[in-house]
Chains A and B, each alone.
Chain A
């Protein structure tokens, strides 16, 4: 089904359409799940989005996407957070699609893109390794040419939902000459290839969201190379500036703030000046993040590229979110050390799920420390 041109709608109309769509189609039991939902839970929603032409909001319409402009994209994401809609396994849509449109061959585009839209292919990201985390460019998984193939050996880790993926996009070392960034290639790998072993890793919240993936003499056709030999670093870095701003949205921590507010009301804590000060400080941390975020949104809407300063948003959003969930468990007293939902002064709250859910944000996508290094170097121009 070809979706309409949503960009032609006014912002308020589009927002109303999104709300209506979620209310009509999104499974109520999957609102605010506070963890990365598995494919089995999300598959029906994936297919609903696909059927209505809503699965790839960021893709141009000629590729079967919604072709949303940045302003509309932000509205969609705001409403997604507001309604508590879980992410589908979306690496194919968010990462592989745009990368193939920019760097893929016509053959790669024709083969892979439609299968992402239909949900036939689900992608996992093979970037991090046990010894290449923040220092990603030192990755060691190797891809050695052999006839028409590469032979891939090595180990990837923190691969989100790899056990739900049919395919993995991989950064592998194809050269040990020169700078370490210049010897990396970007490969598309069928997860069913012989020699791949996927092992889920349980996280501290008890969920198996990510995995380690072992490659033992895995044959990958050379036709699956994207962007040219040793150009993988450039391909991986070429994320739209939009993706970098989304992570700093003030919407994500709102759920925890609402729960905290609800719990504090039930406990009468708004009579306690000490609590009010802590709560208001956090409320303003988010409100002020909103002001800063809106400033960057305006930049993107004008079609300008965001500079490295956007790292600020991620640091502040993720750390404020964590402070908020810290106060949530403090406010829950004894229940702050007990998993699951509990009745506290007449309200049912699970405080540990939001607390755990907020933890990895300062680690993934460049840890807070790496973001600070980036700001120090590129924005404050401090010497290294």
Chain B
């Protein structure tokens, strides 16, 4: 057997092991029956499965080794994100281990940062990031939640929306405007003055709305000072855009495979329907979309792992989210059409893939929003 160059370096060995663990997990730990069973339940996922993910090391892939993580990169995280999403795994992996973890990692309260990251990596505590306040906004600086001095502490007032992974979260990283500027605070779930509402997402999971009424936060819970809060949020959001793209890659890949398989076996007019050129060409166009998505994602992951910053980082993230959202929605929509009436039934899995694509596409900005953002970034870049 020829030597596989992909296993020659340590980094790629990690990638291979993660790929194996994902394949193994998808085969044993989760299945579509479980996905169906957990739809429209609270919190919509299972803590034992979350624990298993922690044991695999997935929750700490992006977390530096000094904080108990594996200190790996987007390359490895993308493998896990794509693999779990292709099985429609409902656990809030990217919401907690990429988005919330990304903000915490970039914060400057060392004590709190260590505590939060270590318990996240161990699977003991699940954080969620609450930064967004209005639909259609990708700008982390658009923040109206107020943080005011209150005796020896801080008082938070305002509201946050579209919080991914809010159901089952043990606490929230909340952005607020303090007298010093944009700041991040740690607010444990159930704190006095905190109200969490959960709203259903198309795929059977939920998104959170947080109301903060005179929520008192001790100084020890100031997670990121104004010196680093903005970059913490933007870095976390850009990374999550790429990982949402990876998840979409997993979803579209499986949906297209299902459709192509169906085209080979479904017989009408005495022939497999895949022999009809109208359908075959349609499948080819979807395949091209899948390959474009995967090529952009690969470029992005390499760029992020090389430490890209600023406008280039955000542009690349928007390219990924734009392409993958567009392609993912198109492939899953067309999967319904290719399957015909059976594709429109709840009992057939094609619909589950469309619904996951709908939620992933809408999360943190759809294709049109990211094309606009890409164009705006290009202008400021000039």
On A, residues with C-beta under 8 Å from B are 270, 273, 276-277, 279-281, 283-284, 287-289, 291-292, 294-295, 309, 312, 315-316, 369, 372-373, 375-376, 379-384
Could you tell me the dominant secondary structure of chain B's interface residues? helix
When distances are taken between beta carbons in the complex, the residues of chain B under 8 Å from A369 are: 277, 281
Would you give the shortest CB distance from B374 to chain A, in whole angstroms?
A: 6
When distances are taken between beta carbons in the complex, the residues of chain A under 8 Å from B284 are: 315, 372, 375-376, 379-380
When distances are taken between beta carbons in the complex, the residues of chain B under 8 Å from A312 are: 287-288, 291
Would you give the shortest CB distance from B366 to chain A, in whole angstroms?
A: 12
Would you give the shortest CB distance from B326 to chain A, in whole angstroms?
A: 8
Given A280-B375, A312-B288: 17 more A-B contacts, CB < 8 Å: A270-B379, A273-B372, A280-B372, A289-B292, A295-B295, A295-B298, A316-B292, A369-B277, A372-B280, A373-B280, A376-B274, A376-B281, A376-B284, A382-B274, A382-B283, A383-B264, A384-B275
Would you give the shortest CB distance from B139 to chain A, in whole angstroms?
A: 16
Contact assessment for A380 and B319 in the assembled complex, using a CB-CB cutoff below 8 Å: no
Listed from nearest, the 4 A-B pairs whose CB atoms lie closest are: A376-B280, A291-B295, A382-B274, A292-B295
The 8 Å CB contact of A277, one of B271, B287, B319, B372, is B372
Say if the beta carbon of B212 comes within 8 Å of chain A.
no
When distances are taken between beta carbons in the complex, the residues of chain B under 8 Å from A277 are: 368, 371-372
How far, in angstroms, from A308 to B237 measured CA to CA in the complex?
Answer: 38
When distances are taken between beta carbons in the complex, the residues of chain A under 8 Å from B323 are: 284, 288
Would you give the shortest CB distance from B258 to chain A, in whole angstroms?
A: 13
Contact-size category for B: 20 to 34
Chain B CB within 10 Å — which of A273, A280, A315, A369 has the most?
A280
Contact assessment for A315 and B288 in the assembled complex, using a CB-CB cutoff below 8 Å: yes
When distances are taken between beta carbons in the complex, the residues of chain B under 8 Å from A280 are: 371-372, 374-375
The 8 Å CB contact of B291, one of A273, A292, A376, A384, is A292
How far, in angstroms, from A277 to B367 measured CA to CA in the complex?
Answer: 10
Sampled A-B contacts (14; CB under 8 Å): A277-B368, A280-B375, A287-B319, A288-B295, A291-B292, A291-B296, A291-B299, A315-B284, A316-B288, A373-B277, A373-B281, A375-B288, A381-B264, A382-B274
Say if the beta carbon of B322 comes within 8 Å of chain A.
yes
Would you give the shortest CB distance from B265 to chain A, in whole angstroms?
A: 10
Enumerate B273-310 residues with CB–CB distance to A below 8 Å: 274-275, 277, 280-281, 283-285, 287-288, 291-292, 295-296, 298-299
How far, in angstroms, from A291 to B296 measured CA to CA in the complex?
Answer: 6
Enumerate B322-375 residues with CB–CB distance to A below 8 Å: 322-323, 368, 371-372, 374-375
Contact assessment for A383 and B274 in the assembled complex, using a CB-CB cutoff below 8 Å: yes
